[in-house]
Structure 1
Amino acid sequence: MRAKTDEKRNAIIAAATAVFEEVGYRGASMAMIAARLGGSKATLYGYFHSKEQLFATAVTSALDEIGDEMLASLRADGDIVTVLTRFSRLYLDLITRPEILAIQRTVLSESQTTGLGREVYLLGPQRGIDALTDFFSERAARGEIDVPSPRLGALYFKSLLEAGVSEPLLYGLDEIRDKSEAVETAVAAFMKIYGKP
């Protein structure tokens, strides 16, 4: 039964993705997605409580493999600098992808009048912050860093990493800070603040 449920959920996501790509978030409706699927709106609502949740799931599902690789890098063996550097490279490669930037622009334009921003944030950025928080907690327990709040450490590190990279791209600029330099300086700054000699 579980396989059938997963199969139906995946079919809904595929139909929704096609509709969103064709008419955009604003132009899409649950009725259009149900028609594409060949089912009813009741079926859609049995899996997703809103168009916002379905959109968030559709856009983040397409990037699950890349996101999973990035999050898995935090569980790799190695010293904290090596692991953080690998994670950071994967993270910047992910957030600078054109499709991610397009998703962010859609979310920003719709989030004032819908719950779309919250849905996408919980399925995307929040997962990364939670994984970094766990990583910093674990490394603090090992005595590698001294970070009073792993959650704040995760937020600070994310900000250090994105500085001069994600925001210019979001606004349509092509000139961004070199990603290799961004990784190197973010890791170095974090370790200078929280690292143990």
Structure 2
Amino acid sequence: MRVKTDERRQAIMEAAAALFREVGYERTSMAAISARLGGSKATLYSYFKSKEELFAAVMMESMGEQADKMIGLLAEPAGDPKSALLAFGEAYLDLVLSDDVVAMLRVGLVDANHATLGPLLYASGPEHGWDQVACRLALWSSEGLIAVTDARLAALQLKGLLEAGLFEPKLYGATPAVDRNAVLSSAVDIFLSAYKPIR
């Protein structure tokens, strides 16, 4: 019975994802999703309390597995934070610059003027992910690999360095004017220079 329930939830999310991409968040309704699935709105609401919750679930699934692997790259720096940060940065850019994630982010940004959708997306996605990165950085700092006093701020600064010149052009459908490898390499160097431990 559980497998059937999981399969139905997955089918709902796939139908919703397709509609969100096709017509946008605002013009997608629970009725349209249920019509595409051939079920009832009551079935949808038994899985998701609202369209906002469904959209957030679709967004998180599009990023979930990759994000977990990406955070895992920071688990074992083996005394070499630079290699771990480069691997993490590469995986992060693969994720955040992917067509699927960018398409869903565009929908979320365009329609995030709703009181609940924007905060829900942020809390369950970027905020949660970068909080995990901050925990890893705090651990590295306790082990003397780096020296941070505010791990959350350091994590967000790393995010900004990695995205510089790459993420905004992708979001707008423009071609970045900077080389991705150069951005990644300098982001890690700048970060480690700012947070190198005092010996």
Q: Deviations over 1:155-180 (max 9, x none)?
A: 11111111111112222321332111
In the alignment, structure 1 residue 85 sits paired with structure 2 residue 53: no
* Paired position in structure 1 for 2:185: 184
Deviations 1:17-71 (A, max 9, x none): 2332343322210111122223322222222222122122123313333223222
* RMSD of aligned Cα (Å): 2.0
Q: 1:90: Cα distance to partner?
A: 0.9
Distance verdict in 2 for CA 1:82–1:128, change over 3 Å: same
State the alpha-carbon separation in 2 of the partners of residues 18 and 24 from structure 1: 10
Tell me the residue number matched to 1:60: 60
Q: CA deviation at 1:10?
A: 1.3
Residue deviations 1:135-164, cap 9 Å, x none?
101111212111111111111111111111
In the superposition, the TM-score normalised over structure 2's length comes to 0.88
5+ residue gaps in structure 2?
A: none
Task: Give secondary structure in 2 for the equivalent of 1:25.
Answer: helix
Number of aligned positions between the proteins? 197
182 and 99 in structure 1: CA distance in 2 versus 1, 3 angstrom threshold: same
State the shift of 1:77 in Å.
4.5
Q: Distance in 1 between matches of 2:22 and 2:162?
A: 34
Alpha-carbon distance in 1 for matches of 2:126, 2:99 = 16
Cα-to-partner distance string for 1:72-130 (whole Å, 9 max, x where unaligned) = 21224532111111000111122112222222222221112353322322332123202
TM-score (norm 1): 0.88
Q: 1:140 to 1:2 in 2, by over 3 A?
A: farther
Structure 2 residue identity aligned to 1:166:
F
CA displacement at 1:189 relative to structure 2: 1.2
Give the counterpart letter for 2:45 in structure 1.
Y
Partner Cα distance (2:35, 2:115) in 1: 23
